[in-house]
């Protein structure tokens, strides 16, 4: 039976003897073995009662089996909901409840924290650890290496990826089989991926970049991936000579540049370096070329839209731009107030449409309606312009968002928590330039009359509420927040004032 994504990405490899994964200890996993593992995991999901369309929430360390679990969700018709491993129990609670998960897969070390959450929401708890072992692995081991693929159409959901809103709760972007496959096909072609490519994979597998862009492209092209648990500089330097391509957030590149061992000999054989998820400074682009001879290919994407634009493989990779729209993507820049299209060169809101754009937000029709124009264009919240020759330049964000090391932090969520702290009248959370992470999280606090604030005590008390990467790394106390005549906090003034919060 037809299953759009499975048939394109996984089924063709059922008899493929070539290596798909190269693991940190040097061992390899052949394509056919990966497909068999997917079948066993799909059998395990069905044995647990998973039915087509059910949500499977996964918060596990990165491993070959965790990656196979993505394939298993596709093959069994389930909807994968991957979660950042840094999320606290309170955060996981929301996702499991909102998505009405059938299964929650977590690290065995998290069972005590997450067991009650699974129980409360009627989800079945399973485990997978960093070695890919756990109750789900044990269940899968008893399943056959073949699984009757569940039929899924182009418009059926493959994944729910949550992104926070500028106000209020996190929203699940509904990604269909067609959304994911169409983008993969375009990127394999645009970036010339082939079966001889070896991709150095150090990104997390709970976000689009590591999960869909890197993995789906490798699968469709039939290439292999060196699957590292995360970004470790020594491991990167060890593995770079064995790879031909790498995808990373800008922090990957600045960290490599900070090491004198990044020399042309190390990467002379490389075919392609891709950067995305956060702005790559033009100086990083220039410095990387000077040090290695490679021009990083920068592209622009979003959880809701997959990849939208890309600098060309052949042709000029222009520093400070994200390149023209990818084939099939129609992109325009409009006046944020009126929605009127702006001429080339003028800065406004970036809006786009194409087969890559998600179907809206899970069970939030009003949020979906707000995110799209009546003619179907998705409002990205990013500000930019289209240069005369079609290259897109992102110049800022119309949405209140901090991107730190490629992770998104929505200030509102942090501010709500800070405002609850004793002695705090109000707060503003901003991003300040950070030498390693691009932006770092800064909290500006206003005390209640007569109160004196203890930043350390406040930092300690927000610790269990939100993931570590969202927690402010600098606290400042001010008498009042700057406001415009409408009473809105002028964060641009705060960003200027605290721009050196993380100065080297
Ligand atoms: C780790 N920490 C962070 C971050 N990561 N703090 C702020 N921002 C971060 N991104 C904190 C930890 O809590 C810890 O704090 C300390 O830093 C060290 O943790 P560790 O895990 O050792 O950090 P790391 O391994 O050095 O990780 C940094 C990293 C990682 C390599 C930049 O965050 C990363 O892999 N980021 C990639 C994110 C990504 O894939 N984004 C794509 C999403 P403490 O020591 O105080 O406890 S966007 C997307 O998918 C769209 C569609 C797109 O366009 O691609
Ligand atoms: P997310 O919702 O986590 O997928 O983050 C998407 C956001 O990351 C976009 O809306 C942009 O603000 C930002 N982003 C992604 N790629 C780039 C890039 N190459 N340059 C600048 N910003 C980027």
Report how far Cα 299 is from the mean position of its chain's Cα atoms: 14
Which ligand has the nearest atom to the CA of 256?
1
CA distance 312 to 272: 11
Q: Is residue 162, in this structure, part of any structural domain at all?
A: no
CATH code assigned at 428: 3.30.300.30
Beta-strand ranges (E) seen in 107-169 are 124-127, 157-163
> How many angstroms separate the CA atoms of 387 and 337, rounded?
21
404 Cβ inside 6 Å of ligand 1: yes
> In 3D, which of 202, 206, 224 has the Cα closest to residue 33?
224
The whole-number pLDDT of residue 464 equals 86
In this model, does residue 165 exceed pLDDT 80?
no
Domain boundary among 90, 123, 152: 152
Do 243 and 383 sit in the same domain of this protein? Answer: yes
Residue nearest to atom 10 of ligand 2 (CA): 302
395 neighbors 384 (Cβ within 8 angstroms): yes
Please say whether the dihedral angle defined by the alpha carbons of residues 195, 202, 38 and 77, taken in this order, is positive or negative: negative
User: pLDDT digit string (tens) for 91-128?
Assistant: 999 999 999 999 999 999 999 999 999 999 999 999 99
* Residue 182 within any structural domain of the chain: no
pLDDT value, residue 333: 98
For residue 101, the enclosing domain spans 4-152
Residues 258 and 350 placed together within one structural domain of the fold: yes
Helices (H) and strands (E) in the chain, counts: 17, 23
DSSP letter assigned to residue 143: S
What is the pLDDT confidence band of residue 169, given thresholds at 50, 70 and 90?
A: confident
The answer to whether the beta carbons of residues 220 and 188 sit under 8 Å apart is yes
Angle at 76 between CA 71 and CA 77, to 5 degrees: 95
CA distance 3 to 70: 14
- Side-chain half-sphere exposure of 458, counting CA atoms within 13 A: 28
pLDDT in tens, 221-237: 999 999 999 999 999 99
Look over the chain and give the mean of its residue pLDDT values, rounded to a whole number. 97
Dist CA 156 CA 52 (whole Å): 10
Q: Which residues, at least 6 apart from 143, have a Cβ–Cβ distance to it below 8 Å?
A: 39, 40, 41, 42, 43, 44, 47
For residues 297 and 58, give the distance between their C-alpha atoms in angstroms, rounded to a whole number: 31
Say whether both 114 and 228 belong to one domain.
Answer: no
- Which residue in 469, 202, 186 sits closest to 301, CA to CA? 186
Nearest CA residue ID for atom 29, ligand 1: 405
Q: Are residues 465 and 379 in the same domain?
A: no
User: 130: closest CA among 49, 175, 67, 76?
Assistant: 67
- Half-sphere exposure at residue 464, Cβ-oriented, CA atoms within 13 angstroms: 5
- Which of 327, 362, 397 finishes a domain? 397
395-446 pLDDT, tens digit per residue, is 999 999 999 999 999 999 999 999 999 999 999 999 999 999 999 999 999 9
On whether both 140 and 227 belong to a single domain, the answer is: no
Percent of the chain past pLDDT 70, that is, above it, reads 99
The C-alpha atoms of residue 269 and residue 261 are separated, in whole angstroms, by 16
If asked whether residues 380 and 335 sit together in one domain, one would say: yes
1-28: average pLDDT? 97
pLDDT digits (tens, 9 = 90+) for 384-397: 999 999 999 999 99
Residue 166 has pLDDT above 70, yes or no: no
DSSP H or E segment with residue 208: helix 208-208
Task: Name the strands in the sheet holding 55-59, side by side, starting at the edge strand that comes first in the sequence.
Answer: 124-127, 103-106, 55-59, 79-82, 157-163, 171-176
- Span from the CA of 383 to the centroid of ligand 2 (angstroms): 11
The CATH number covering residue 261 comes to 3.40.50.12780
Assigned domain for 280 exists: yes
At 167 the pLDDT is 66
Domain check: are 387 and 244 in the same one?
Answer: yes
What pLDDT was estimated at residue 504? Answer: 66
* Number of domain units in the chain: 3
Decide: 127 and 135 in contact? Cβ < 8 Å. yes
pLDDT digits (tens, 9 = 90+) for 275-305: 999 999 999 999 999 999 999 999 999 999 9
Q: Whose Cα sits closest to atom 15 in ligand 1?
A: 468
Do 379 and 234 fall into the same domain? Answer: yes
Instruction: Tell me if 371 sits within 8 A of 407, measured CB to CB.
Output: no
Q: Is 372 in the same domain as 239?
A: yes
Instruction: Indicate if 374 and 246 belong to the same structural domain.
Output: yes
Q: What's the CA-to-centroid distance between 72 and ligand 1, angstroms?
A: 26
| 50 and 69 share one domain | yes
471 in any annotated domain: yes
Residue 164: what pLDDT? 81
415 and 378, same structural domain? no
Contact between residue 436 and residue 251 where contact means Cβ atoms under 8 Å apart: yes
Any idea what DSSP says for residue 316? -
Residue 136 domain flag: yes
Ligand 2 neighbours, Cβ below 6 Å, are 163, 208, 276-279, 298, 300-303, 322, 380-382, 394, 397, 403, 408
34/249 Cα distance (integer angstroms)? 27
Q: Which atom of ligand 1 is nearest to the CA of 305?
A: 52
Q: Which of 375, 397, 419 is the endpoint of a domain?
A: 397
Q: Is the CB of 360 under 6 A from ligand 1?
A: no
Average pLDDT estimate for 8-24: 98
Report the C-alpha gap between 68 and 70 in whole angstroms.
5
Residue 175 lies in a domain: no
Does an H or E element contain 356, and which?
Answer: none
pLDDT in tens, 135-159: 999 999 999 999 999 999 999 999 9
Q: Is residue 121 part of a domain?
A: yes
CA 105 to ligand 2 centroid distance, Å = 28
Q: How many residues does the chain have?
A: 504
Nearest CA to ligand 2 atom 5: 302
Of all residues in the chain, what percent carry a pLDDT higher than 90?
A: 97
Residue environment code for 465-475, b if the CB has 16+ CB neighbours within 10 A, otherwise e:
bbbebbbbbbb
> Which one of the ligands is nearest to 180 CA?
1
Q: Between β-strands 103-106 and 55-59, what pairing exists: parallel, antiparallel or unpaired?
A: parallel
User: Looking at the domain assignment, is residue 159 inside a domain?
Assistant: no
Put the strands of the sheet holding 424-434 in their side by side order. 424-434, 438-447, 474-477
């Amino acid at each position: 039976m037809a299953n759009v994504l499975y048939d394109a990405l996984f089924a063709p490899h059922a008899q493929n003897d070539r290596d798909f994964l190269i693991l940190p200890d040097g061992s390899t996993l052949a394509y056919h073995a990966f497909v068999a593992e997917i079948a066993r995991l799909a059998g395990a999901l069905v044995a647990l009662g998973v039915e087509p369309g059910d949500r499977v929430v996964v918060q596990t360390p990165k491993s070959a089996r965790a990656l196979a679990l993505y394939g298993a969700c596709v093959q069994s018709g389930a909807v994968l909901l991957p979660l950042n491993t840094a999320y606290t129990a309170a955060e996981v609670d929301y996702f499991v409840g909102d998505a009405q998960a059938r299964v929650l897969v977590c690290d065995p070390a998290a069972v005590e924290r997450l067991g009650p959450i699974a129980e409360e929401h009627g989800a079945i708890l399973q485990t997978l650890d960093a070695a890919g072992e756990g109750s789900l692995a044990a269940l899968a081991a008893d399943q056959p290496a073949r699984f009757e693929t569940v039929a899924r159409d182009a418009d059926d959901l493959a994944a729910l990826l949550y992104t926070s809103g500028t106000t209020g709760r996190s929203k699940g972007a509904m990604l269909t089989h067609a959304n994911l496959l169409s983008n993969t096909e375009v990127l394999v072609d645009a970036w010339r991926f082939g079966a001889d490519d070896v991709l150095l994979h150090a990104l997390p597998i709970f976000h689009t970049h590591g999960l869909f862009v890197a993995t789906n492209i490798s699968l469709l092209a039939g290439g292999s991936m060196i699957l590292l648990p995360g970004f470790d500089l020594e491991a990167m330097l060890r593995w770079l000579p064995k790879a031909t391509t790498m995808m990373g957030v800008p922090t990957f590149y600045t960290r490599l540049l900070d090491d004198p061992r990044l020399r042309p000999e190390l990467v002379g054989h490389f075919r392609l370096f891709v950067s995305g998820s956060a702005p790559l400074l033009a100086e990083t682009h220039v410095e990387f070329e000077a040090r290695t001879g490679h021009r990083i290919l920068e592209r622009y994407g979003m959880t809701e839209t997959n990849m939208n634009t890309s600098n060309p493989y052949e042709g000029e990779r222009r520093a400070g731009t994200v390149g023209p729209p990818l084939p099939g993507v129609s992109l325009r820049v409009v006046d944020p107030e009126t929605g009127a299209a702006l001429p080339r060169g003028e800065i406004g809101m970036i809006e786009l449409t194409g087969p890559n754009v998600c179907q809206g937000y899970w069970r939030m029709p009003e949020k979906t309606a707000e995110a799209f124009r009546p003619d179907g264009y998705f409002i990205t919240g990013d500000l930019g312009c289209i240069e005369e020759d079609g290259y897109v330049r992102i110049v800022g964000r119309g949405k209140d968002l901090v991107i730190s090391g490629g992770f998104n932090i929505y200030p509102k969520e942090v501010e709500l928590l800070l405002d609850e702290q004793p002695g705090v009248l109000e707060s503003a959370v901003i991003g300040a330039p950070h030498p390693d992470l691009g932006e770092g999280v800064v909290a500006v606090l206003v005390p209640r009359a007569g109160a004196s604030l203890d930043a350390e005590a406040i930092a300690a008390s927000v610790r269990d509420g939100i993931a570590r990467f969202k927690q402010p790394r600098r606290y400042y106390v001010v008498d009042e927040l700057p406001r415009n005549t409408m009473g809105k906090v002028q964060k641009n003034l705060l960003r200027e004032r605290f721009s050196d919060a993380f100065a080297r």
